[in-house]
Structure 1
Amino acid sequence: MILRALGRFVLQAVPVLYIVSLIVFVLVYLTGDPTVMLIPEDATEADRLRLVAAWGLDQPAHVQYLRYMGNLLRGDFGQSYYYGTSALPVVLERLPATLLLTAGAMVVAIVIAVPAGIFAALRRNTPVDFAVSGMAVLSKAMPNFWVGIMLILIFGVQLRLLPVSGAGSFAHLILPAVTLGTAFAGDLAKLVRASLLEALGQDYIRTARAKGIPSSVIVLKHALRNAAIPAVTMTSLNVIALLGGALITETVFAWPGLGQLVVQAIYTKDMAVIQIAILVITVMTLLINFITDLLYRLIDPRIRL
């Protein structure tokens, strides 16, 4: 099963990566000449033209693209104009911070949303259900930057319990992870509630109750497992969204992730960093989809058939 899924993953990944590389190259090419951002103000036009020729930017677009793809296939991911070094290490240096923030945010979202969704489903149309629905709407209504600033004011400035910027320890992760996690917890809680209510209305649940199986076993072992697939789908989509960029949260907390790197590369027209960063995010997205597919098969054996 795993080998078959891995084969499908490879067959899907190759054309996706090619299409993404083409789109990114075209978009970066259309942004114009990056040397304007990098040469000194007192440089002459002749100096700029020499730099353009040295980087091969005076070649036609198709020649530049063929050279770009040839370099990728050889494992040469280009040189960063801004950092003066290979672009891949610059991107990979920021990747762990983004993965850590994403994992922390999803843990916060799952810890909040799954119990809240279960309680809301089991106490349908009660004050508990209404409270969970209200909190879910409130979490979507509050902008991330506002939540982050409020957390900084309360836990960083007034109570002085947690650091408010940078990275380097678990304490630095708490505030940005809570900021991002609460934004996704509301939608996930509503989805868990709706999926669990649908599962509890199925015939096999009524049969299990008729057999005298305890309610806790019915909910946690049978109903929740069948209600998990939509939640897994939403969680994977949220992870992909976070990998694509949690720029506002990274900016508020000065978190050194990929989001800030990509925006800085766009401002400086650092084409190699932009291209490699997006390719890395694409690869991570494909891996998340692959893992999600395996989880589907693990949760629901019918999908294996």
Structure 2
Amino acid sequence: MTSMAYEPGTPSAAGRVLDSPWLSFALRRGARFLVSWWVLVTAAFLMLHLVPGDPVRAALGMDAPAALVESRRESLGLDDPLVTQYVSYLRNLLAGDLGISLGSGERVSALVGGRLGATVQLAVLAFAVAAAVAVPLGVVMAVATRGGRRRGTELTFAAGSVLAGAIPEFLLAVGLVYVFAVNLAWFPVAGAATPSSFVLPVLALAVAPAAILARIVRVEMLAVLGADYVRTARAKRLPARRIYLRHALPNALTATLTVGGLILTTMVAGTVLVENVFAWPGLGSRIVQSITAKDYPVVQAIILIYGGLVLLVNLLVDVTLALLDPRSTIREA
């Protein structure tokens, strides 16, 4: 039997793995995610202790018996030193325990767990609708107006997209309820009992992002259509559909994806107002109820969930960009 001799100048398999740009990228992104998450958790923890006065007394009311207030403070561990409370908070959080409600004494995870799905479902559906409208519209407008053609169409699109993008979700939601739910009675006013209940909340969340994203897609598509490789594809007399969809669109969507990720994070936050207009059974309506009732552990938990969703979306966007354009993304990371 013959054995392969190891040459001193040849890197080992372990060395090649450690020198991999993908591993370096993953470690940097993972470290950034963990640091951001730790800052978010620490800020949420301190929120309960920065509230003026006694948060337990504020949540239970001024007429609550002193024994009940003291019992609730003891169950929450608020009489312990701050460092002890912080360590206990981190330990419980890692175990999936979000704390105890100041008002009802129930587990916060039970109060908010069932509402997370409704909020995520609403945000994802709205983003899907926005992207399904914005990408084709932006591509069509770029093709139709490239080279300064159809100035009237370009001005109409610009004015309409600016107007649609400037309408606040809350105001649009109220208008949709008044027209389509109250006057025309086409859709339910509130709740999420039937598929038709999704139409108005999804539209309220999707209109402004769709308008903004369509403008971004058009600008990026115009830049790509002027690139040398697109002109070369035209010189080869390739079909227009192949040029636009196979050569131009993937490159235009690379930059659009970054903006799309930012839009998705704002849509997650925008669900707070829209959910309250439509009495949607999600986290947005729950956090408003908890703020009104001064139930700060519930507010803490929902802030953590919203912040975690934003961080997760940003991480997924970074990974997707790296997969689409590995050389530039990993080098710039």
Scaled by the length of structure 2, the TM-score of the pair is 0.82
Deviations 1:160-214 (A, max 9, x none): 2211211122211110111110011111011001000111111111111111112
Q: Which residue of 1 aligns with 2:89?
A: 68
- Cα separation, 2, equivalents of 1:295 and 1:34: 43
Please give the per-residue CA displacement for 1:220-276, whole angstroms capped at 9, x wherever unaligned: 111111010222111111211222342221111111221222222223332322222
User: What runs of 5+ residues in structure 1 fail to find an aligned partner?
Assistant: none
Question: Partner residue of 2:305?
Answer: 280
Shift, 1:98, TM fit: 0.7
Q: Distance in 1 between matches of 2:95 and 2:278?
A: 38
Q: Which has the larger radius of gyration?
A: 2
Match of 1:104 among 125, 150, 166: 125
Question: Helix, strand or coil for the counterpart of 2:307?
Answer: helix
Question: Matches of residues 158-173 of structure 1 in structure 2 within 5 Å?
Answer: 158-173=183-198
Provide the C-alpha distance between the structure 2 equivalents of 1:38 and 1:28, rounded to a whole number of angstroms.
Answer: 12
User: Match of 1:185?
Assistant: 210
Q: Which amino acid aligns with 1:289?
A: N
> Which one-letter code corresponds to 2:230 in the other structure?
I
Structure 1 residue 22, shift from structure 2 partner: 0.7
Taking a change above 3 Å as real, the CA distance of residues 47 and 292 of structure 1, as seen in their structure-2 partners, is closer
Corresponding position of 1:113: 134
CA RMSD of aligned residues (A): 2.5
The question of whether the paired residues in 2 share the 8 Å contact of 1:245 and 1:258 is answered with no
Q: Give the structure 2 partner of residue 223 of structure 1.
A: 248
**Could you tell me which amino acid in structure 1 is paired with residue 41 of structure 2?**
S
Q: What letter matches 1:208 in structure 2?
A: A
Q: Bigger CA drift: 79-88 or 97-106? A: 79-88
What is the CA-CA distance between 1:287 and the residue it aligns to? 2.6
Q: Could you say what secondary structure the match of 1:259 adopts?
A: helix
- What is the percentage of aligned positions where both structures have the same residue? 35
Alignment of 1:35-54 (within 5 A): 35-39=56-60, 41-45=62-66, 47-54=68-75
Q: Is the 8 A contact 1:297 1:304 kept in 2?
A: yes
Q: Is the 8 A contact 2:57 2:64 kept in 1?
A: no
Residue 284 of structure 1: CA displacement? 2.2
Cα gap change, 1:22/1:120 in structure 2, threshold over 3 Å: closer, same or farther? same
Residue 268 of structure 1 is aligned with which of 293, 308, 311?
293
2 CA distance for matches of 1:54 and 1:216?
A: 65
Report the count of equivalent residues: 305
For the residue of structure 1 that corresponds to 2:263, the secondary structure is helix
Against the structure 1 CA distance between its residues 245 and 27, is the aligned structure 2 distance closer, same or farther, given a 3 Å change threshold?
farther
From 131, 152, 167, the equivalent of 1:142 is 167
Matched, 1:154 2:179: yes
Give the corresponding residue for 2:17: none
The separation in 2 between residues aligned to 1:230 and 1:303, in whole angstroms, is 12
Matched, 1:232 2:257: yes
Letter in 1 for 2:229: Y
Contact 1:117/1:132, CA 8 A, preserved across alignment: no
Q: 2:225 aligned with 1:204, yes or no?
A: no
The aligned residue for residue 107 of structure 2 is 86
Separation in structure 2 between the aligned mates of residue 143 and residue 244 of structure 1, nearest angstrom: 13
Contact 2:60 / 2:69 at 8 angstroms: preserved in 1?
yes
| CA distance 1:135–1:35, change in 2 (3 Å) | same
Q: Which segment is superposed worse, 179-188 or 278-287?
A: 278-287
Aligned match of 1:31: 51
Give the 3 Å change call, closer, same or farther, for CA 153–265 of structure 1 in structure 2. Answer: closer
| Counterpart among 73, 77, 84 of residue 98 in structure 2 | 77
> For 1:100 and 1:215, how far apart are their aligned partners in 2?
37
Q: In 1, are the aligned partners of 2:169 and 2:270 still within 8 Å (CA)?
A: no
In the superposition, the TM-score normalised over structure 1's length comes to 0.89
Instruction: Indicate whether 1:289 and 2:309 are aligned.
Output: no
**Residue range with higher mean Cα deviation, 161-170 or 82-91:** 82-91
